[in-house]
Chain A
Amino acid sequence: MTAFLLGRLAQAALVMLVMSVLVFLGVYAIGNPIDVLIDPAATQAMRAAIIRQYGLDLPLWQQYGHFLGNVLRGDFGNSFVFRIPVLPLILSRLPATLELTVLALLIAAAFGIPLGIWAGYRPEARSSRAIMALSTLGFSVPTFWIGLLLILFFTVELRWLPSGGRGPVGWLGLSIWTREGWTHLLLPALNLSLFKLGLLIRLVRAGTEEVMGSEHVRFARAQGLPERQVVGLHVLKNIGIPIVTIFGLEFGSTLAFAVVTETVFNWPGMGKLVIESITSLDRPVMVAYLILVVLLFVAINLFVELTYGLLDPRVRAR
């Protein structure tokens, strides 16, 4: 087990290293590092100073050393637009994106898993076909478009919910503590969850169908177990593992996808920051976001692999 753990950690570190080289090359070698680091509005003297400071006149591999050193210290430079250090800037937006993502995933799971199980348990039923049709709709239609429709319906027509922005922020930088916070949170979270919901329903249904057709279920029925227990004991446990795995992986993907929802609903999270930075050419922010997201992905992947190892007794034996 420890060998497994160490192996995976080593792999993760390697991936991060490779990514850092790629990003470095992408920005410093292909892109113009001068543009990345130096505000276009800087004076000639400031330019020269920064060139010296970041060693931009040094050979490439030395620059990489600088780059790596800076990154490991958390120094990503300053944002051109906001003129403050990048890392704190991004981190300050993190709680907003996190609460959106977590809520979206919870919604997707709370509805997706039961619906998927039902569709897999009784694939012939009308309701199951309807569920499958809805799931196809869920991940076919582009998220931003659904967001628009939601706004059109709930804000313009019904006037129930606000069309954007975030509610008052409280403890831990989250806005879930007030009712107003929730009215702002509901639509974007729903919007973000729909794609994953569609995906999850399909996944759970496929898994359930497979388990229901498997020999264990037949054997369980042959023992006279009540249906409720057959589903509970066998189906849930068997599909639990792949679901947890997928869920972990989807967290990272949902976080990235929040970019779209945050734009539609004007939600002040990390995603909106990145889009703004791309359109306003605020390159230090872009670079930092990239590296952070890759780090997040690698970390999540690692975590999921470890959890999988813990949950599946067959893997544990190794």
Chain B
Amino acid sequence: MSGPVPPALELRGLRTEFPGRGGVVRAVDGVSLRIERGRILGLVGESGSGKSVTGFSILGLVEPPGRVTGGEVLLEGVNIAGLPQGAMRRLRGARVAMVFQDPLMTLNPVLRIGTQMAAAVRAHDPVSRKAALGRARDALATVGIPSPAERLEAYPHQLSGGMRQRVAIATALLHRPAAIIADEPTTALDVSIQGQILAEVRRLADETGTAFLWITHDLSVVSSLADDVCVMYAGRVVERGPAARVIAAPRHPYTAALIGSVPSGHEPGTRLPQLAAGAPPRGADGGPDPGCSFRTRCPRAQPDCALPPPDLDFGAGQSALCHHPLEAPA
């Protein structure tokens, strides 16, 4: 217990591995983060950084043969990592929920919205079907869907993309979970719809006190939505802190490169800075590499980056995992 009220979600040194033909791949390599009630944490990284796997690891939904091999997942102060499937099932959807990227893929196309949501309600509350539909209707209203009763009768393909994602979020909220993991929920949507969803989520976090882990590769989403941010690279968190601070004054070269690649921050006509290509280094005998995993692409890399990088604190909650962090702007 780290305080009078434990954080809604906390990860300590989470490790998830996938056995492969060339050895074990550590998709999540010692990730730690903390989200208090009602706060939104953005988990940023490129494809393959391990951010989605982190989300699945929290819910125990890692695809076999991958599995969580170490660390703790503290949901409201209680470690749920390593719980048997039966106990995990009771928590999923009830105390911790997940929203996926493409609702057209996640909502079953041959079942009505009402049917699917009612099933989600009755998975944890043995109420009548009528009562379940009633709760579903209320949940839809909460996420700002007009004429919710009609929507219950509809099939997923009859709704717009933004509407479908709201349905997914509503489903996640049905049992008032402590935390919701959102895996790139707005990536498949129009930018304008995206803005609406983000505003909706912000409001929900404030009103219901649900913590959100918002997984994305899009920094602009993070800057407009999240309270805090964790930047992931090759399975590790390389920088963390309040979103506004990290984006205004990044310390890790990777974070800086990510911010630098967003077009809106540049003068039209200037060349966008490019990030060098490269893969994270492999360890000596196929095991994990101890040094900084970014050094193969980092413009500031030095020989000592082959050693484990220190976790440096820059004050006001910002820290970065780097031997040669960037200076604070003047």
Contacts and interface: CB of A to CB of B under 8 A. Distances in A.
Interface of A: 214-216, 218-227, 229, 233-234, 237-238, 241, 312-314, 317
Given A218-B100, A219-B100, A313 B105 contact: no
A223 B108 contact: no
Interface residues of B, number: 29
5 contacts: A223-B171, A224-B120, A237-B110, A238-B110, A317-B157
B120 A223 contact: yes
Given A313-B155, A314-B157, A225 B106 contact: no
Interface in B89-110: 89-94, 97-98, 100, 102, 105-110
Contact of A224 (B89, B100, B108, B155): B89
Contacts, number: 77
A221 B89 CA distance: 8
Contact of A313 (B59, B110, B120, B168): B110
B94 A224 contact: yes
A120 to B, nearest CB: 15
A233 B114 CA distance: 13
Interface string B50-78: 00000000010100000000000000000
A250 B100 CA distance: 38
A-B interface, 5 closest residue pairs, ranked by CB to CB distance from nearest: A224-B93, A224-B92, A223-B93, A215-B105, A219-B106
A183 B120 CA distance: 49
A233 B112 CA distance: 12
Contact of A222 (B92, B115, B119, B124): B92
A234 B89 CA distance: 17
B158 interface: yes
Given A221-B92, A222-B93, A226-B89, A215 B124 contact: no
Contacts of B108: 216, 220, 233-234, 237-238
B262 interface: no
A215 B106 contact: yes
Contacts of A227: 89
Contacts of B157: 313-314, 317
Nearest to A216: B108
A9 to B, nearest CB: 26
Contact of B123 (A216, A223, A317): A223
Contacts of A314: 109, 155, 157
B24 interface: no
Contacts of A233: 108, 111, 115, 119
Given A215-B102, A233-B119, A317-B158, A224 B109 contact: no
Contact of A218 (B61, B90, B93): B61
Nearest to A225: B123
A222 B168 CA distance: 11
Contacts of A225: 89, 93, 119-120, 123
Contacts of A226: 89, 123
A241 B94 CA distance: 32
A312 B98 CA distance: 28
A229 B119 contact: yes
Nearest to A222: B98
